[in-house]
Amino acid sequence: MNKYYDIFTYTSENLAFSLCNSFVNSDDIKKKVQYHFFIEYLESQNAKTIIIEYNYFSKIYIDSFLPLYQKGFLEFSKQCKRVHFFSIEILEDEFKELIYNEGNYHNSSSDKYIGNIVIRPVPDSIFGESLLVPPPMSEGIRLNSLMNYSINLFGISFNLNSLPFLEQDKYITTCANVALWIALNRTSHLFHHKLPNISEINSLAGQSHSVPGRRYGTGFEVFQICNVIESLGLECEVRTEITVSSLKAIVASYNSLGIPILFGYSYNNEYTHLVTLIGYDIGKPGSKIKNPQDINLFSERITSLYCFDDQSGPYSKITIDSKNKVKNWNGDKIEPHVLIVPIAESIRVKYEDILIVIHPLANILDAILHFKNKPYWDLELLKSQRLKSKIRFNSVLSIEEKNKIIFSSLPEFIWAGKLIVSDTLIVELFFDATSFQVNYSAFCIIFYDLEFKSILKQFFNKQDNYIKGYFKELSSEYYYNLILESLK
């Protein structure tokens, strides 16, 4: 009898059974770290129903894994299975109604779709490309690298916001291959490049297909990861001298555009690992900066990072405690080694370039205005379309101020430097991220607080020579003129 699907009530036992294949039984499943991760995740999503879709053809499995597995004597099936999860109870008759007559039941179940896990027909690393919605999130969590997917189950469409998760198999893929492939899924949409499959990634990195069991299992060096990224028409920004503050700052600023960041670290003084950072948690509104500096950065509020980790699962949490100790999902203390940012060639201005410009401006404004509450700066990379959308619906700005941005021709990529006092946005500077001239890349300033603008304008009018000398001393006369123009 040809079975197309099975339906089960969600329990941990039924989950273990659903994730089995002909090589791996329920007891084997229960020994896998990912199984326990999925239990915690699915219970947080209030999972109620499991639907197993048999005879599922996975393009990634067929293109990248099956050709190499078939070189051995053991035969492997072409067909995977896909296990779907819902946070609503679905009975057999109701599912048939859903298939043949979507109607109102589909409307009630479409937002109850949690996602799916692909099970590969192999003896060891069984978890294929899987898509799961984000876990329940607090207000401070920002998962900027996710994108929209449409899942088709027997002709029924479900939409979700996610990225694909994949387990390494230690023969064809390691953590580096998987982390890079996950990141490229997002950048292929963000920067419009071809998405290579796993086999192509290995070739682009310089690994031979002739000895898959020996070469593939050794992982990638940093230069090989960069080879892959650059072969796709992107650039790599690599940082190897990483403090906890710089880790948080780089993630917050580049991930604001949606860029996933490759993070390499060591733990237990021995093992090295690579994960894909997809977001972060800034804590509760009003939380204090942990490490006050001469210039406070918004990123210092970050309490945890979120990543896709093939050793645990999607949305895995990396915590940063009050003593700046960084720990992975298992509580192991980790030592950051490398950050690799895959970025468009046209983005020439780096985060550090903007920080160098912002730093003297921050000191000048602080010296002039003597803020009661220490202000902080939030630096983010964004596209001009997103900036115009944000400005359009801003309730504080006048039409005249909005028109400065909405009807202007802008560079495709923009750095924004936000001055924030007591959780209130005061002023925002915009920089051309595609510029060759960093010192002259700022092109617009917008004031969101009219009282602040008025005070600053009065000060400039009364002490023009003093302020101009201050800016000139700091080689910032260009910015003096820009501020003066914006105050008119």
The pTM for the full model equals 0.91
Tell me, yes or no, whether 199 and 328 share the same domain: yes
Q: Lowest-pLDDT range, 52-56, 71-75, 226-230?
A: 71-75
The residue whose two tokens read 């699915």 is 42
Q: How far is the C-alpha of 470 from the C-alpha of 488, rounded, in Å?
A: 20
Tell me, yes or no, whether 329 and 184 share the same domain: yes
Q: How far is the C-alpha of 132 from the C-alpha of 164, rounded, in Å?
A: 8
Domain boundary among 344, 368, 386: 344
The answer to whether position 169 is within a domain reads no
Cα–Cα–Cα angle for 90, 93, 94, rounded to 5 degrees: 40
Domain boundary among 133, 160, 194: 133
The answer to whether position 238 is within a domain reads yes
CB 7 within 8 A of CB 92: yes
* Phi, psi torsion values for 193, nearest 5 degrees: -115, 165
Tell me, yes or no, whether 196 and 335 share the same domain: yes
Give bridge partners of residue 152 from the DSSP assignment.
157
Closest CA to 381 of 204, 249, 484, 205: 249
Tell me, yes or no, whether 205 and 264 share the same domain: yes
Pairing state between β 296-297 and 376-383 = parallel
CB 229 within 8 A of CB 236: yes
The answer to whether position 170 is within a domain reads no
Examine the pLDDT at 211 and tell me if it is beyond 50: no
Query: Which among 106-120, 168-182, 249-263, 395-409 has the top mean pLDDT?
Result: 249-263
The answer to whether position 141 is within a domain reads no
Tell me, yes or no, whether 307 and 363 share the same domain: no
Tell me, yes or no, whether 281 and 377 share the same domain: no
Confidence of residue 127 (pLDDT cuts 50, 70, 90): very high
Measured in whole angstroms, the distance separating CA 274 from the mean position of its chain's CA atoms is: 14
Tell me, yes or no, whether 367 and 315 share the same domain: no
Examine the pLDDT at 171 and tell me if it is beyond 80: no
Q: Which pLDDT score, from 0 to 100, does residue 384 have? A: 95
Examine the pLDDT at 465 and tell me if it is beyond 70: no
- The domain in which residue 12 lies consists of 5-133
The answer to whether position 172 is within a domain reads no
Q: Mean pLDDT over residues 82-104, rounded?
A: 86
The residue whose two tokens read 């859903």 is 98
> How many structural domains does the chain have?
3
Question: Across the chain, what does the average pLDDT equal?
Answer: 86
Tell me, yes or no, whether 125 and 94 share the same domain: yes
Tell me, yes or no, whether 337 and 266 share the same domain: yes
Confidence of residue 209 (pLDDT cuts 50, 70, 90): very low
Tell me, yes or no, whether 241 and 309 share the same domain: yes
Tell me, yes or no, whether 474 and 409 share the same domain: yes
Domain boundary among 75, 107, 133: 133
Confidence of residue 170 (pLDDT cuts 50, 70, 90): low
CB 129 within 8 A of CB 62: no
Q: How far is the C-alpha of 168 from the C-alpha of 375, rounded, in Å?
A: 44
E strands, 240-375, in order: 261-267, 271-281, 296-297, 304-309, 313-320, 326-327, 334-344
* Phi, psi torsion values for 355, nearest 5 degrees: -60, -40
pLDDT per residue as tens digits for the range 293-319: 567 899 999 999 999 999 899 999 999
The residue whose two tokens read 């309490």 is 303
The answer to whether position 144 is within a domain reads no
The answer to whether position 331 is within a domain reads yes
Number of Cα atoms under 13 Å in the Cβ half of residue 482: 19
Tell me, yes or no, whether 335 and 212 share the same domain: yes
